[in-house]
Structure 1
Amino acid sequence: MTAAPHTAAPTEVVIGLDVGTTAVKAVAFGVDVYWRCTAEREYSLEQPAPGWQVQDPAAIGAAVIAALAECVAGCAGARVLAVSLSSAMHGLIGLDADRHPLTPLVTWADERARGEARLLRDSGRAAELHRVSGAPVHPMTPLTKLMWFRREAAELHARVRWWIGLKDYVLQLLTESLVTELSSASGTGMLDMATRSWSAPALDLAGVTPYQLPEILPTTAVLDLSASSAASIGLPPGTPVVAGGADGPLGNLGSGAVAPGIVGLSLGTSGAVRTVVREPFADPDGRLFCYALTDTAWVVGGAVSNGGVVVRWVGDVFGRDLLAASGGAATDTELLELAARAPAGSDGLVMLPYLLAERAPLWDPDLRGAFIGVRHSHTRDHFVRAAVEGVALQLSTIVTELERLEPVKAVQVTGGAFRSPLWRSVVAAVLNRPVHAAGDVEGSALGAAALGLLALGRVTELADGPARLGVLPVGEGDPVSVDPNDAAAYAQLRAGVSVLLDCYRPVATLFGAGSGPS
């Protein structure tokens, strides 16, 4: 457990519960005082078959209860106003009639439905599904996962009484209510954004009825903590549980990137770029997603599967001596020190960083990565830096796409990658816009807590929540400094990579880009 950063104890706290891909984090935030108490539990991501990425729901549930209990115990006697939820998007669990899991959690990273996504694209149905739901057709979505179960596991598909997501599973655990909320529903590929209800054409493809899916509540809906969960956690029964939202939209709220023209960019293992608009946006070009934060705040942007994981992979391949010296795991710090020795642009070495099934803005899970422009003079320093630059360039394409909606005035960056000066300087130079690093903010957990204040009536405007929890407005302080020479080099590189990708995509198919798991 991470203790409070300040000694002044709050009288009231809101707990933001962020249930992620590999860990759950419970953070108690002091109201009107900068105070934090954090507890975290990890769980494993399993790969029972190539391309599959699943988790044990029971292990996640146990981690949720344990993290909450530890967090509550560290709240220094403060009154817990509510527990407000955030969770990873796009997961799918099948339940029987008694609400017991018949399947593991099939996570967003699971690629088994690549064939279904390809079929929808090739048939021409993908564009209309994207327009209605806001979720691009991709193996990550529950829609394509359900199509896979219908085709490959028909008997199991028929036995499932309820199909739910990760957020829905946690809400049931804490409140005994089988419900979902608008934000998580908007990531399924089965929501009709216009009506805020399940889409009949998508459900027909999935082979399910509306009665097999949870009721969709507002993200500000308040439920009651059940007696059994309350006893395990150490809170009074009936403590408010705010339905909350998905981790991506809440990440924007947590970083303060909710004003017009402000973009939130998060980067960890994967990455995302998002901005907030007031109405659902159906991208006519099919490049950007649109997910709900509230009924009147929608997050438009794109996510990349290949973020910091790319640099870690490059270290595994090119840093064997570092692996040996570190006992089996080269640290990001060591790798980035190598990258910093190479010049901006990596002396013409370019990486297309598609190691995992890529998402925005191409939404092409079959596209594979490549190093291009290799010369005898290139060293591993260049290869590592090219990996960093490749990820930054991919993120910059999403920022460019967002400018179709509104000019981007500033970018707020968050995530573990930005502890590194190199990541900060490369991303700032590639974007060539004012970039502000939010530091080690609590991201989606903070967003959940801020949304909780809105749900409880403690604030009347969405943007006011973070300030009540001690977060400074976006743009306070100087932006990340940018070397003009680096910015010029990356401007030239951006233009070159765009042309290069147009040439590479058809060539890549000749080498089996669609012949197996990424």
Structure 2
Amino acid sequence: MTKTDDRVLALDLGTSSARALVLSAADAAPIPGALARHKISPTYGHDGSATLDLHEYVEGLLGCLDELQQNGQLDEIGAIVLSSQWHSIVALDNKGGALTPVITWADTRTVDLDLGTAFDEPAFHTRTGAWLHRLYWTRRIPWLLASESPAAFAGLPDLVLERLTGERVTSVSIASGTGTLDLATGAYDDEALDIAGVKPDRLPSIVPTGWTGTLRAEYARRWPGLVGVPVHPPTGDGAASNVGTGGYDIGTAAVTVGTSAAVRVVHPIDDAPELPWELWRYRVDDQRAVTGMAFSAAGNLHAWLTGLLQLESDEPTGVEIGASHAIAIPFMAGTRPPATVPGGSGVYFGLSFDDTAADLLAASLQGASLEIDRGLRQLDALFGRKLDVVLGGGGIDASEWWRRCLTATFDRPTTVCAEPEVGARGAAAIALGLSPSPGGEHLTPVPADAERVAGLRDRYETLRALAVQASAI
């Protein structure tokens, strides 16, 4: 059992960076100055590929630990935890070597599957929380089997864990993001594996939440303070971010804005409400699930526009919330399932010569807010209440205007998480049984802002429907 005066080493395996940071074991608060970051640059191709170099990624992460070691930050570590991007996959040879780069959630390469009329996808979705979509291993593995001769498959967090401990295992949380898990049993789903064309022995073994490993002997000299320290199974970044933001009960929705965005609710897996077709459901740990909706355009949209428009400020200065005449449908990176809008489908409606760069940024952030609001309203209906909302993530931390815009769009008070490293914080909280509070400012919607946004909603939904239709042409 980790002592409260120990510290926690958290490894956060993101799409745009790999990070190692040290947290307090008492409350999962970051230790000032104990953060090392390795920038990740995904490779995108015209064929729809979106990949990461596995060797470069892992070596960069290990370099983060070296940096913390050099700064004397790896002393008194009582636990090592991991938060990781969901959905990644790597094809492996019979010696465990990588045959492919890390294929990320953004990769659109796939094969079509004809399962006939006997396949009941609604029942499959209810059982696994996923759809038969290219995001998941049910479609990834058949595509890889058609182009490679793999002996096994694993995700990025599984291979990082293997590099650290020598054991290729996965958690129920990471496995749920593959779309091959039976959510109720916590084991691989037989039908999902049949669709993928593999047996369980070709995938990482699923270990319980309480499992721990230890670092391999080769790291004893490199990081002597970590010898014998328990390494906990990784948590999917969405689940970790919810808990780290402070959204870990059935009455609270967490809205996190990072590279992408999501709105989710953590709840017990037992007696969970029936899953609507539009929402996904994954696992947090052995006892809890997380239900929500994800969006492909968020912090990436903000970063792209501020660079493209060469704005002096990251904020749409001078533009009132809900006042932009332009309507932006933020499908630049397509949509997540079950919708099938491809990347490159972003649209602006109603542009005029008097629109400024700030107007375009405001319209895009407003469009992203309205997309997230669509998910929040579905979660309200699912759980039978108007949910409390906490906001967290790097995008939330970076933009005061966006925080106020989200609050006005939701038309309810919100609480901001004061800690931007919500994934690492949540992974530590899950491993140690903590319940961190948001700790940030409380926002209330400005009535005039909320009224303007409400006036946009019907027009937005009409134009969004047109954008979806146009994307299919």
* TM, length-normalised to structure 2: 0.90
Distance 1:293 1:230, change over 3 A: farther
The verdict on how the C-alpha distance between 1:306 and 1:405 changes in structure 2, with shifts beyond 3 A counting, is same
2:301 corresponds to which of 295, 304, 310: 310
Write the mapping of 1:31-50 to structure 2, written as runs, cut at 5 A. 31-32=25-26, 36=31, 37-50=34-47
Q: In the alignment, which of 121, 132, 140 is matched to residue 137 of structure 1?
A: 132
**CA–CA distance in structure 1, aligned partners of residues 73 and 123 of structure 2:** 52
For residue 77 of structure 1, report the CA deviation from its aligned partner. Answer: 7.1
Return the alpha-carbon distance in structure 1 between the equivalents of residues 181 and 358 of structure 2. Answer: 46
Q: Which moved more, 1:119-128 or 1:437-446?
A: 119-128
Aligned letter for 2:243?
L
1:296 pairs with 2:287 = yes
Post-superposition shift, 1:502? 3.3
1:235 aligned counterpart, secondary structure: helix
Alpha-carbon offset, residue 380 of structure 1: 3.0
RMSD, aligned α-carbons? 2.6
Shift of 1:507: 4.1
- How far does residue 311 in structure 1 lie from its aligned partner after superposition? 3.0
Answer whether contact 1:18 1:444 (CA < 8 A) is retained. Answer: yes
Residue number in structure 2 paired with 1:491: 454
Match of residue 482, structure 1, among 445, 452, 455: 445
Indicate the residue corresponding to 1:191 in structure 2: 181
After superposition, residues 367-386 of structure 1 pair within 5 angstroms as: 368-386=345-363
CA contact (8 A) 2:331 2:347 kept: yes
Give the counterpart of 1:410 among 375, 388, 396: 388
Given the superposition, is the C-alpha separation of residues 31 and 309 from structure 1 closer, same or farther in structure 2, using an over 3 Å criterion?
A: closer
* Secondary structure of the structure 1 residue equivalent to 2:179: coil
Residues 108-165 of structure 1: per-residue CA shift (max 9 Å, x gap): 111112x538x679997543332221123332222221122234x1xx1xx3111001
**C-alpha contact 2:92 2:152 (8 A) present in aligned 1:** yes
Task: Report the alpha carbon displacement of residue 256 of structure 1 after superposing the two structures with TM.
Answer: 1.6
Structure 1 CA distance for aligned equivalents of residues 425 and 116 of structure 2: 37
List runs of 5+ in structure 1 lacking aligned partners.
1-9, 323-329, 455-464, 468-472, 511-518
Q: Contact 1:83–1:452 at 8 Å: present in 2 too?
A: no
Tell me if structure 2 keeps the 8 A contact 1:264–1:273.
yes
Contact map agreement 1:24 1:63 (CA 8 A) in 2: yes
Superposition deviation, residue 445 in structure 1? 0.7
Q: Aligned partners of 2:156 and 2:39: how far apart in 1?
A: 15
Q: CA deviation at 1:367?
A: 8.3
The letter for the 2-side match of 1:372 is: F
Q: Are 2:257 and 2:393, in contact at CA under 8 Å, matched by a contact in 1?
A: yes
Cα deviation 1:224-247 (Å, max 9, x = unaligned): 211113333333533211013111
> 1:268 and 1:312 mapped to 2: Cα distance?
11
- 8 Å CA contact retained: 2:345, 2:467: no
Q: Find 1:423's aligned residue among 402, 409, 416.
A: 402
C-alpha displacement of 1:314: 3.3
Q: Aligned equivalents of 2:283 and 2:320: distance in 1?
A: 41
- Correspondent of 1:356 among 333, 341, 358: 333
Residue 163 of structure 1 aligns to a residue whose secondary structure is: strand
Distance 1:229 1:276 in 2: 36
Identity %: 28
In 2: Cα distance, 1:140 partner to 1:376 partner = 40
Contact 2:416 2:441 in 1 (8 A): no
Which residue of structure 2 lines up, in the alignment, with residue 441 of structure 1? 420
| Residue aligning to 1:502 | 465
Alpha-carbon distance in structure 2 between the residues aligned to 1:408 and 1:75: 47
Q: In 2, Cα distance between the equivalents of 1:287 and 1:486?
A: 28
Note if 1:453 corresponds to 2:458: no
* Distance in structure 1 (CA, Å) of the matches to 2:151 and 2:404: 50
Whether contact under 8 Å (2:136, 2:178) holds in the other structure is: yes
Match of 1:17 in 2: 11
Whether contact under 8 Å (1:283, 1:289) holds in the other structure is no
- Provide the C-alpha distance between the structure 1 equivalents of 2:210 and 2:267, rounded to a whole number of angstroms: 18
Between structures 1 and 2, the one with greater helix share:
1
Say if 2:84 and 2:236, in contact at 8 Å, map to a contact too. Answer: yes
In structure 2, which of residues 20, 24, 27 is the aligned counterpart of residue 30 of structure 1? 24
Q: Distance in 2 between matches of 1:160 and 1:377?
A: 56
Taking a change above 3 Å as real, the CA distance of residues 83 and 73 of structure 1, as seen in their structure-2 partners, is: farther
Whole-Å separation in 2 of the counterparts to 1:48 and 1:369 = 19
State the match for 1:94 in structure 2: 91
Aligned equivalents of 1:441, 1:491: Cα separation in 2 = 29
Gaps of 5+ in 2: none
